Amino acid sequence: MKDLQNTQLLQNISSLLDNARKKVAVAVNQTIVLTYYEIGRMIVEDEQNGENRAEYGKAVLKDLSLHLTERFGKGFSVSNLKQIRQFYIVYSKGQTPSVFLQDSDKHNEKGQTLSDESGVITNQKPARQDSIKFNLSWSHYLKLMRITDINERRFYEIESYKNNWSLRELQRQYDSALYARLSLSKNKEEILQLAEKGQIIEKPKDLIKDPYVLEFLGLSEKPHYSENELESELIDKLEHFLLELGTGFTFVARQDRITFDEKQFRIDLVFYNRVLRCFVLIDLKIGELKHQDIGQMQMYVNYYDREKRLEGENKTIGIILCQDKSEALVRYTLPEDNEQIFASKYFTILPSKQDFINILNSDNGKIS
């Protein structure tokens, strides 16, 4: 192939075509999901006209499946049609964030009610197709509509859209009880905000999770491991670790050396958070947290604030990741108005949802 002289022209055209393909893919996906929503609506409304809704519904789905498959091919089995029907029932309850993300400040119209047990929708106004915009893939919605708590479901919808989570990433965040971990230290109003807007990062505490879940490291199979091994695994699986850390994190350095008075110290991991515009220092500890560990992190944070922080940047945040900690030790070691240093536990296994509930509700955070 002959070399193109004007390479910039090729790059510009290629970029235009790539963007066009992405837009087409998004439009196709939105059309598919909206079509399923409308199919679900038609099925539900037709069922409600039947005298014996349960038996009538079974017959309708079976008949529809047969004829739609014959005409349009795969994708319309009875089980798939049941999922499409359920999709409409779940998402016709009100304006969920991923559907009406652009109108998140508008309130739902009154008169839309649903009986969860019977699946009967009363006073339901038909949705205007030009006002509905599904932003996630059908596979995402299949996962999301299984989440029974509406606030939790809304949270994962928003975060999936904002952070462009793949289905696998959504599943991982749900399995690690992200919503429950973020809700732990919040009041009812703040929890409702999670459901309406997702995770909003305005202050250092908003960045922190407790515990962190590091099951992707594969260290659960090792009876013993060192802090260096833990650090190496985190770097090797940096993409997974950034997902667990949350929004806005960029990796800066590993074993960052600071020197003063002819003494050298090394900070395990250094990140920068673009949302809060500050450095985030992470120190890794095997075993239980000691007050000396907190003092050491205080020194690191002070050094960064005085020697590396630029004008316009916010104060440095320090996070100590440990296997266990005493809340009293942390509380009495740090000042009452502390907003810079945090101690969080980490797990190298992915607990079950019930274990997570026990962990988050317990005083010592140990799995029973």
Amino acid letter for position 46: D
Name the percent of the chain lying above pLDDT 70: 80
Q: Are residues 15 and 129 in the same domain?
A: yes
Residue 1 lies in a domain: no
pLDDT tens figures, 98-117: 554 444 443 333 333 333 33
**Residue 218 and residue 195 share a domain:** no
Same domain as 340, residue 223: yes
Which range, of 7-11, 27-31, 118-122, averages the lowest pLDDT? 118-122
Mean pLDDT of 131-141: 85
Same domain as 289, residue 256:
yes
Domain containing 182: what range? 147-200
* Residue 108: inside a domain: no
Q: What is the pLDDT of residue 52?
A: 53
Q: Report the pLDDT value the prediction gives residue 53, as an integer from 0 to 100.
A: 64
Q: Are residues 166 and 272 both part of a single domain?
A: no
- Are 197 and 158 within 8 A, CB to CB? yes
Do 196 and 208 fall within a single domain? no
Same domain membership, residue 213 and residue 194: no
- Pair 212, 299 in one domain: yes
According to the per-residue pLDDT averaged within each range, which of 149-158, 177-186, 355-364 is highest?
Answer: 149-158
Overall pTM surpassing 0.95 (yes/no): no
Do both 187 and 211 map to the same domain?
no
Asked if residue 169 is part of any domain, the answer here is: yes
pLDDT over 90, % of the chain: 42
- Lowest-pLDDT range, 206-210, 264-268, 279-283? 206-210
Q: Indicate if 210 and 221 belong to the same structural domain.
A: yes
Q: Is residue 338 part of a domain?
A: yes
Q: Are residues 137 and 269 in the same domain?
A: no
Query: Where residue 242 sits, what CATH number does that domain have?
Result: 3.40.1350.10
* Count: domains in the chain: 3
Using one digit for the tens of pLDDT, what is the confidence trace for 186-203?
777 777 888 888 888 888
Of 181, 200, 219, the one marking the end of a domain is 200
**Within a domain: 37:** yes
Residue 360 lies in a domain: no
* Structural domain contains residue 366: no
- 47 shares a domain with 88: yes
Is residue 246 assigned to a domain? yes
